[in-house]
Chains A and B, each alone.
Chain A
């Protein structure tokens, strides 16, 4: 059974190593500050007992007052998973750091989020639209698109 690790437990370990990097944590997620996302992701990936080597998916949700970017990570060796989230409050120019350097699997999926939700992934090697054409106006998965 894939064990969904408790967000609270992981949060304690992250806080110990990287104090002040978290905004909040719940039973099943970590809410990371956008500027410490890469450091936390590196910690989760490279700590032996956690070993989150498998990038399951990334997506984003539009809550009007902020965008929430959701990542799900897994470990093939330990068969456990964790959801990490980060928020961007700047609606006009939302940006989070890219994790494509840590996990190759993030490459296409971050492009997809950029295309449909309009969130920029800073440091992405090839950030351009995935499905829609370059001249397309707006980002359709935003709640206020075409309204």
Chain B
């Protein structure tokens, strides 16, 4: 064929499935994309492959027995899930928790944020084409954080550490020295990592200006967490609606203005620095004393409802619990950060090529366990 003949060839959009089992989809997520050549013109998310009916299961369990279920929501950051659930129940039942437990909870939540962002940043770079080298570096550091979690609760993935009214057990003696050592190590690691990547030409070319999420779309979709903050929304529940004892710590909210993939990456790196800053303050001030309030094993919160939420590593995670004064919740709804953050994916990928679709999706940082529940 001559060039003119090729130019006048008729083309048609076609549908391409990504997933549910595909290395780029971070779990069992399916994207039904409509492509015009290599350009994405439409995207429809198909979810539910990991639906376990967790909200229904909560209605059959005691309040304390639900904590292990929350581990299985966002399994990258179970500590935050545990905490969000406990905050909601404590609000509902009006339980006050001891000082030391508050500090331990903050330490765990911030360590969890570091561990989550290690995976988020690593897998984002993986999607950007830096195949597994940066991922291995971040995984190495996450491993050390997980070692600390293992020290306090014996688990490495599903921690089940928080309790209604505190935490399950006190931190062992060797925990704080080990944490101090790790904080020094992580501070060096983040700077080293940044040196390698911050101005890396390939990363800039792949992510700067790609997959822009406009501020007003982000608000309309109810986006939260680093994704929203990268689009210039200065919303962080640790500052805006301080829970636990976050009002005692000094730290900044990391924000960027452009809302592209690169900004989302930058916000996460900056948040890791801020987490280190909070951890240093918490380690310095942690008091002695009990780690669990005197709460019976079977609690019966007064009839009513409460919504408890927190700033999980991926965004706002909340539990809306309705009680009928029995030992199990009448209804427990989970506000799923990951599902809601997917709401803008279609707007973000329209007009970008398939290779960009992968990196844009990767930059949102979702966990299917939380999307499907």
Q: What is the distance, in angstroms, from A139's C-beta to the closest C-beta of chain B?
A: 11
Residue numbers of A with Cβ under 8 A of B are 1-2, 53-57, 59, 61-62, 70, 72, 76, 79, 83, 103-105, 107-109, 112, 116, 129-133, 140-141
The chain A residue with its CB closest to the CB of B339 is A108
Name 24 A/B residue pairs within 8 A (Cβ), A-sorted.
A2-B241, A54-B219, A55-B222, A56-B316, A56-B318, A57-B222, A57-B318, A57-B333, A70-B333, A76-B219, A76-B233, A76-B235, A83-B307, A103-B220, A103-B222, A104-B344, A105-B222, A105-B223, A108-B342, A116-B56, A130-B48, A131-B372, A141-B55, A141-B56
Q: Give Cα A118–Cα B240 distance, bound, in whole angstroms.
A: 35
Q: Digitize B334-354: 1 where CB-to-A-CB distance is under 8 Å, 0 elsewhere.
A: 010001101110000000000
Q: Are B343 and A70 in contact (CB under 8 A)?
A: no
B219 CB contact (under 8 Å) in A2, A53, A79, A129 = A53
Q: In whole Å, how far is B29's beta carbon from the nearest beta carbon of chain A?
A: 12
In the bound assembly, the distance between CA atoms of A72 and B10 in angstroms comes to 49
B residues in contact with A59, CB < 8 Å: 320, 331, 333
B251 sits at the interface (CB 8 A): no
With A2-B240, A141-B55, A141-B56 known to touch, is A56 a contact of B335 (CB < 8 Å)?
yes
Residues of B within 8 A of A61 (CB): 322, 330-331
Given the contacts A1-B242, A132-B48, A140 and B217 also touching, CB distance less than 8 Å: no
Q: Are B241 and A1 in contact (CB under 8 A)?
A: yes
Bound: A131/B373 CA distance, A: 9
List, in ascending order, chain B residues with CB within 8 A of A54's CB: 219, 222
- Name the A residues within 8 Å of B339 (CB-CB): 108-109, 112
Contacts of A53 in B (CB 8 A): 219-220
Cβ of B190 within 8 Å of any chain A Cβ, yes or no, is no
> Could you list 15 further interchain pairs (A-B, Cβ under 8 angstroms) beyond the known A56-B222, A56-B318, A131-B372?
A2-B237, A2-B241, A54-B219, A54-B222, A55-B222, A76-B219, A103-B221, A104-B343, A104-B344, A105-B221, A108-B342, A109-B340, A129-B48, A132-B48, A140-B53
Q: B residues touching A (Cβ–Cβ < 8 Å)?
A: 47-48, 51, 53, 55-56, 217, 219-223, 233, 235, 237, 240-242, 307, 316, 318, 320, 322, 330-331, 333, 335, 339-340, 342-344, 372
Q: Is the interface of B mostly helix, strand, loop or mixed?
A: mixed
CB-based nearest A residue for B306:
A28
Cross-chain contact A105 with B343 (CB below 8 angstroms): yes
Residue contact A105 to B340, C-beta cutoff 8 Å: yes
Question: Which residue of A57, A103, A130 has the most chain B CB atoms within 10 A of its CB atom?
Answer: A57
B235 touching A108 by the CB < 8 A rule? no
B47, B307, B340: the one within 8 Å of A72 (CB): B307
- Smallest CB-CB A-B distances: 8 pairs: A105-B222, A131-B48, A2-B241, A59-B333, A131-B51, A57-B335, A104-B220, A105-B221
- Of chain A, the residue at the smallest CB distance from B331 is A61
Q: CB within 8 A of B340: which of A1, A70, A83, A108?
A: A108
**Across the interface, which residues of A come within 8 angstroms of B318, CB to CB?**
56-57
B330 to chain A: which residues have CB within 8 Å? Answer: 61
User: Within the assembled complex, what's the spacing in Å between the Cα atoms of A1 and B241?
Assistant: 4
Instruction: Kindly report which residue of chain A lies nearest to residue B220, judged by CB atoms.
Output: A104
Shortest B48–chain A CB gap in Å is: 3
Rounded to whole Å, the gap between the CB of A1 and the closest CB of chain B is 6
Taking the closest CB of chain A, its distance from the CB of B344, in whole angstroms, is 8
Among B53, B55, B219, B320, the one with the most A-chain Cβ atoms within 10 Å of its Cβ is: B219
B242 proximity list for chain A (CB < 8 A): 1
- The answer for the CA separation of A116 and B320 in the assembled complex, in Å, is 16
A112 to B48: give the CA distance in the assembly, Å: 10
How many angstroms from the CA of A109 to the CA of B55 in the assembled complex?
14
